[in-house]
Amino acid sequence: MKDLRIFALVLLVVIVYVPIVGLVVKLAALPNLFELIKELLEDPSLYRVIRFTYSQAAISAAISLVVGLPAAYFFSHYNFKGKELLRNFTMISFILPSILVVLAMIVYYGQQGLFSRTFGIGTFIYSYAGIVFAHVFYNFSLSIRIVGGTWEKLNERLVESAYTLGDSKFKAFFRIELPLLWPSIAYSWLLAFLYSSLSFAIVLVFGGVSYNTLEVFIYTLTRRLNMEKAHLLAFLQLLFSFFFILIVNRFSSRSEQTSKAFTTSRAVPLVYERKKAVKILLVLYFAVLLVLFGGPLLNLFWRSFVPRGEAGFVTLENYRSLFGSRVERVLGTPLWQVFINSFLLSGTSSLVSVWLAYILARHYPKLRPWFLVPLGVSMMSYGFGVLVTLKSWMPPAILMLFTQVFIAFPVVYSIVSLGVEEINPEYREVAATLGSTESEITRRIYLPLLRPALQSAFAYGMALSLGDLTGVMLVGEGRFVTFTVALYRLIGHYSFPEGTALGTLVSILFIILFVFIESGGGKKSNAQDR
């Protein structure tokens, strides 16, 4: 099995580091490198941009966390109808390309938006607050999944013994639960932080010219064909991201001892809570969440059933048009093919990512920060790295998979590696003493215990890959049409209503798929509890 883990490590290095090194080598070879650096550092707007990029990201990530934590608590402690549906619905923002998310926000919160008009308040989204709000909308689901997953496995007896010793619920939370949840909290903050720092469309739409992120700065340079400076800045951005990854990793590594605080599955099974107060709180919280964050998406889905953006009766006109011959002419590919391409590519690449993440998390726990590096590199810079290194000799199918793994891997890895950490090492040791082989340990202990984490990771991996445009275009060259390519092509040909219909269909398919996967998994683990 040693071969396999080395194979996995080499594969990751090829996918992630070869292109990045390519980028760096190209930079280092520039004859005027030092002048460029000097020019860049002397630009006063750079400091403003850096400050804004990371301050808004920090705030956005913190608020995402605060918004998501109650949901993480409810999802991990209570059972209620529609739980899987809700949990997967919160992930939709990761699937939808930014253009649809932005439009969803505007038709809901804009000056003519449904929310603004219903409640008779003005619009707030064209401001700093709007940027932060949009980022929270994007990222709050991360903490539900990641923190919720850890919370679910936390040994209730620890908390209960704290109660017996006289701690209040509040005190027990801070003394027992928080320290144990801390790594998961830190990592969901980190993920939200880095995603917000790479934001582009949202910042420009809601912030106007007043606010620029590094990503906007880099893109502007690229458009002005100032490629060297753009790559240099991309590298600077990578250094910044890595710095933050290192800090978070430093303050959130878990000792082997704490792993023992987690149980195989819940010691106290999930309950349908009878207490009235909790019930009311739960309903209230999810109602607010649904109105604030579900609203824009539901409104967008609803609009796909309304003829061409005009008020009127519900029709399937947009869907009929979507499956019609005009759209096929625009796309150059039949629609069924688009669905197959999208789900096949995202499914395969997410599966590969989960597999890689599992092996690397098990065998190379110390290398964690290095595995998170893709989070600090935008697809634009990564794409350039791929062009100068892999593109000319890799078969396109493999390369396509690589770009998607690059996108999916960091989140998948974060979820899986946190899950691996939460497995009591004694199980492995006991099994090994009893003569189990490595693959038996994997099959009998790790996979069953990791099942929820693997499912979450797989879902995120697929969602992220479904929403990718740059990687697919880079390798597919326009002939391989996925959902996101199709969506941009439709919108480029003015077909917004059909685009909305397509976005709705893919979201619904995604939710159905994962509710199916997870409810199947849920039944099994419940059976184990009894």
Build a one-symbol-per-residue string for 114-153: x at contacts with another protein by CB under 8 A, - elsewhere.
------------x---------------------------
Q: Which residues of 64-95 are buried (b: 16+ CB within 10 A; e: fewer)?
A: bbebbbbbbbbbbbeebeebbebbbbbbbbbb
Residues 298-317 that bind another protein (CB under 8 A): 303, 308-309
Query: Any contact of residue 425 with another protein (CB under 8 A)?
Result: no
Query: Any contact of residue 102 with another protein (CB under 8 A)?
Result: yes
Query: Any contact of residue 51 with another protein (CB under 8 A)?
Result: no
Q: How far is the CB of 210 from another protein (least distance, A)?
A: 5
CA-atom Rg of the chain in angstroms: 23
Q: Is 120 exposed, middle or buried (0-12, 13-18, 19+ CB in 10 A)?
A: exposed
Residue 230 has, within 13 A of its CA and on its CB side, a CA count of 19
The Cα angle at residue 231 between residues 225 and 236, in degrees rounded to 5: 140
Q: Which of 15, 107, 356, 515 binds another protein (CB under 8 A)?
A: 107
Tokens of 229: 């400076």
Query: Any contact of residue 208 with another protein (CB under 8 A)?
Result: yes
Query: Any contact of residue 437 with another protein (CB under 8 A)?
Result: yes
Tokens of 441: 């340990």
Q: Which of 443, 492, 520, 528 binds another protein (CB under 8 A)?
A: 492
Separation of alpha carbons 245 and 368, rounded Å: 9
Query: Any contact of residue 359 with another protein (CB under 8 A)?
Result: no
Q: How far is the CB of 392 from another protein (least distance, A)?
A: 9
Residues 447-466 that bind another protein (CB under 8 A): none
Q: Which of 32, 55, 168, 210 binds another protein (CB under 8 A)?
A: 210
Tell me the window of 206-214, 246-254, 345-353, 370-378 that interacts with another protein (CB under 8 A): 206-214
213/417 with CB nearer another protein: 213
The β-bridge partners of 154 are 262
| DSSP structural state of residue 110 | S
Q: For the range 94-97, what are the long-range contacts, defined as Cβ-Cβ under 8 Å and sequence gap of 24 or more?
A: 94/138, 94/141, 94/460, 94/463, 94/464, 94/467, 95/463, 95/466, 95/467, 95/506, 95/507, 95/510, 96/297, 96/467, 96/503, 96/507, 97/467, 97/469, 97/484, 97/487, 97/488, 97/503
307/347 with CB nearer another protein: 307
Q: How far is the CB of 316 from another protein (least distance, A)?
A: 16
Q: How far is the CB of 93 from another protein (least distance, A)?
A: 16
111/519 with CB nearer another protein: 111
Separation of alpha carbons 278 and 439, rounded Å: 43
31/395 with CB nearer another protein: 395
Backbone angles phi, psi at 337, to 5 degrees: -65, -40
* 214-223 helix and 227-250 helix, angle to the nearest 10 degrees: 160
Contact 495, 447 (CB under 8 A): no
437/528 with CB nearer another protein: 437
- Give the count of beta carbons closer than 10 Å to the beta carbon of residue 428: 17
Query: Any contact of residue 220 with another protein (CB under 8 A)?
Result: yes
52/409 with CB nearer another protein: 52
3-class secondary structure, 364: coil
- Give the count of beta carbons closer than 10 Å to the beta carbon of residue 51: 10
15/65 with CB nearer another protein: 15
140/496 with CB nearer another protein: 496
Query: Any contact of residue 49 with another protein (CB under 8 A)?
Result: no
Query: Any contact of residue 395 with another protein (CB under 8 A)?
Result: yes
Query: Any contact of residue 485 with another protein (CB under 8 A)?
Result: yes
Q: Is 238 exposed, middle or buried (0-12, 13-18, 19+ CB in 10 A)?
A: buried
Separation of alpha carbons 529 and 390, rounded Å: 48
Q: Which of 93, 222, 349, 507 binds another protein (CB under 8 A)?
A: 222
353/389 with CB nearer another protein: 389
Q: Which of 366, 477, 527, 530 binds another protein (CB under 8 A)?
A: 477
Tell me the window of 177-185, 275-283, 411-419, 485-493 that interacts with another protein (CB under 8 A): 485-493
Query: Any contact of residue 161 with another protein (CB under 8 A)?
Result: no
Contact 193, 28 (CB under 8 A): no
277/311 with CB nearer another protein: 311
Measured CA to CA in angstroms, residue 367 lies from 102, 249, 355, 407, 425 at distances of 36, 10, 17, 19, 19
Query: Any contact of residue 224 with another protein (CB under 8 A)?
Result: yes
Query: Any contact of residue 112 with another protein (CB under 8 A)?
Result: yes
Q: How many residues bind another protein (CB under 8 A)?
A: 63
Q: How far is the CB of 477 from another protein (least distance, A)?
A: 4
250/308 with CB nearer another protein: 308
Residues in contact with another protein by CB under 8 A are: 1, 3-4, 7, 99, 102-103, 106-107, 110-113, 126, 200-201, 204-206, 208-210, 216, 219-220, 222-225, 227, 303, 308-309, 326, 329-332, 383-384, 387-388, 393, 395, 398, 437, 439, 469-470, 473-474, 477-479, 485, 488-489, 491-496
